[in-house]
Amino acid sequence: MRVFLLASVVSLPFVLLAGCGDDEGVGGGGGGTTSAATTSSTSSSTATTVASTTTGPPSDITPTITVANLSANCMPAIPADPVTGTIDVTYDNAGDMPGTLTISSATLTLIGQAGNLSFSFSLDPHDSGSVGAFGSVGVPHTKVDGSGSGGQPCDFCGAQGTLSITWVDDMGGSAQDSVAIPSFSCVQ
């Protein structure tokens, strides 16, 4: 019996040491992960970050649009909502509690010879999912087919614009991020 107790007492410090330590090789001491921002380059609109703001009581989650890959299919017949694509967002939680941001609006604003277009649409998934305390998660959002409204994007092929997304949290706070669209791509 003494040997068993001695073994338990001797192994206890090793268990405690195994639970401690630095995990810098797996995302740093903060527990978050680092993701590189990229821009799309395949026959779709390229995006660069314009602004990111947060208002209201903080959820401590900051969304950042890292890739906006939106385009319009304008052939052979133009549907009411020709826009397709994906938007990648990184959600960084600086707080000590997990949280979720829900998308309240996504709008593509285009400026062209035909005037201005404000085209709103839905994204799937509609939220960030749970973002752990001091964590970071990347979420690919897909534009929901047929959800767009506000005019005809095919009249704005090659136009410059801005993609803006607004989120809300469970505490009444909101966040927004925008990216520039240098040239809106269309299949014609």
Q: C-alpha angle 48/51/56, rounded to 5°?
A: 145
Please write the tens of the pLDDT for every residue from 1-25. Answer: 333 333 333 333 333 333 333 333 3
Chain-centre distance for alpha carbon 40: 14
Please write the tens of the pLDDT for every residue from 28-55. Answer: 333 332 233 333 333 333 344 444 555 4
Distance CA 99, CA 120 (A): 26
How would DSSP label each residue in 87-122? EEEEEEE-SSS-B-EEEEEEEEEEEETTEEEEEE--
How would DSSP label each residue in 67-91? EEEEEEE--SS--S--EEEEEEEEE
**Fold for domain 36-187?**
Immunoglobulin-like (2.60.40)
Q: What per-residue confidence (pLDDT) applies to 114?
A: 74
Q: C-alpha angle 67/180/92, rounded to 5°?
A: 45
